[in-house]
């Protein structure tokens, strides 16, 4: 998070409302040509922002006119303390190149250029996929080795703990796998499908959060993922069921139809839960005050792994008498 005061600059030209246009123009003349600025700012005696002047209006105005009469007073100012992302959502859709920054008491503190805000926001947005898997916002290929280790290794350690949680679920059903070893080959299939479904829902939710700035859409998102989960679950469930049926027939395993039923139900269940989790995890993180992108991916992978592999193995162990 970059605060707006970290990137604001001194206002180049500050006028008083009583100044004349002629005075303003001679003040502009006195500014070195290479200093970039767009608007002279107008403040009262206490330094509070009253308005700003557009160069075009100064050109059109009479020399003797007062600044108070030619300045714009309906202006968008940004408050000190805003972060860049919030500032950008305030100025969304406006094509103004420079904004005044004021303190809470209305005093002009500086100006900030829209291009600078966008530059920082774009750097933050290119960082999103990395933040989801434990890569520091600033890390690129050029980052030194030790800094990369520091940013990435802790995340791999956390991931290891959650991966063991999934392993524990599978380990819990060693007996079932021992008796129907074909199930082991379908562990990556179920985990892969539900992982992808969850990642899709996660991406959509993150994107909607980013664009709207609110979590109000949560119930709509849930309802959408329920419908998508059921449909996608049925379609993929049929395919996965079909494959295990054929393989079990070829291998001469017992109960191919029961196996097909198990993976069919497990696929629907895990695709559904993954979609709902993908929509819920970033919302929950946001409501807890955390960055919705950071840690989303790791929590989601754990959920999808456990639900998908767990549901298949649990069903199989419940129906084990038809399989051995």
Decide if residue 2 touches a copy of itself (CB under 8 A).
Answer: no
Strands in 78-79's sheet, in edge-to-edge order, are 78-79, 98-102, 108-113
CB atoms within 10 A of CB 289: 6
* Interacting span for a copy of itself (CB under 8 A) from 44-52, 73-81, 186-194, 314-322: 186-194
Q: How far is the CB of 168 from a copy of itself (least distance, A)?
A: 7
What are the Cα distances from residue 31, in Å, to 17, 146, 303? 19, 47, 61
The DSSP H or E segment spanning 52 is: strand 49-52
Residues 197-226 that bind a copy of itself (CB under 8 A): 197, 199-200, 202-208, 210-211, 217, 220-221, 224
Residues 3-32 that bind a copy of itself (CB under 8 A): 25, 28-29
Classify residue 310 as exposed, middle or buried by CB count within 10 Å of its CB (0-12, 13-18, 19+).
buried
Site string for a copy of itself, 62-81 (x = CB under 8 A): --------------------
CB 221 within 8 A of CB 279: yes
CB 244 within 8 A of CB 259: yes
Q: Residue 75: name the closest of 91, 92, 59 by CA.
A: 91
Q: How far is the CB of 108 from a copy of itself (least distance, A)?
A: 20
Q: How far is the CB of 65 from a copy of itself (least distance, A)?
A: 14
Q: Report how many residues bind a copy of itself under the rule CB under 8 A.
A: 107
Q: How far is the CB of 16 from a copy of itself (least distance, A)?
A: 19
Among 16, 68, 75, 239, binds a copy of itself (CB under 8 A): 239
Q: How far is the CB of 244 from a copy of itself (least distance, A)?
A: 10
Residues 121-140 that bind a copy of itself (CB under 8 A): 121-123, 125-130, 132-135, 139-140
Show the CA angle centred on residue 296, arms to residues 295 and 301, nearest 5°: 100
Show the CA angle centred on residue 80, arms to residues 79 and 84, nearest 5°: 85
* Interacting span for a copy of itself (CB under 8 A) from 75-83, 100-108, 164-172, 254-262: 164-172
Residues 258-287 that bind a copy of itself (CB under 8 A): none
């Amino acid at each position: 998070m970059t605060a707006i005061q970290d990137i604001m600059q001194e206002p180049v030209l500050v006028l008083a409302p009583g100044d004349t246009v002629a005075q303003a123009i001679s003040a502009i003349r006195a500014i070195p040509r290479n200093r970039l600025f767009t608007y002279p700012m107008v403040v009262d005696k206490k330094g509070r922002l009253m308005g700003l002047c557009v160069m075009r209006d100064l050109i059109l105005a009479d020399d003797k006119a007062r600044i108070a009469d030619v300045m714009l007073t309906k202006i968008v100012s940004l408050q000190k303390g805003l972060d860049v992302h919030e500032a950008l959502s305030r100025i969304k859709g406006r094509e103004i190149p420079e904004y005044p920054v004021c303190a809470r008491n209305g005093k002009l503190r500086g100006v900030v250029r829209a291009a600078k805000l966008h530059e920082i926001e774009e750097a933050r947005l290119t960082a999103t996929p990395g933040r989801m898997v434990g890569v520091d916002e600033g890390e690129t290929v050029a980052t030194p080795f030790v800094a990369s280790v520091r940013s990435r290794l802790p995340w791999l350690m956390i991931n290891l703990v959650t991966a063991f949680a999934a392993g524990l679920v599978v380990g819990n059903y060693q007996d079932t796998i021992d008796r129907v070893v074909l199930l082991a080959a379908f562990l990556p299939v179920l985990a892969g499908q539900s992982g992808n479904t969850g990642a899709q829902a996660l991406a959509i939710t993150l994107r909607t959060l980013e664009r709207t700035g609110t979590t109000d859409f949560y119930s709509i998102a849930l309802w959408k993922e329920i419908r998508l989960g059921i449909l996608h679950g049925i379609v993929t469930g049929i395919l996965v069921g079909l494959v295990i049926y054929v393989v079990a027939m070829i291998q001469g395993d017992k109960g191919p139809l029961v196996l097909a039923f198990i993976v069919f139900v497990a696929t629907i269940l895990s695709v559904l839960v993954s979609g709902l989790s993908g929509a819920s995890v970033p919302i929950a993180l946001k409501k807890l005050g955390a960055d919705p992108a950071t840690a989303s991916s790791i929590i989601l992978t754990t959920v999808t792994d456990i639900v998908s592999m767990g549901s298949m193995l649990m069903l199989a162990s419940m129906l084990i008498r038809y399989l051995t």
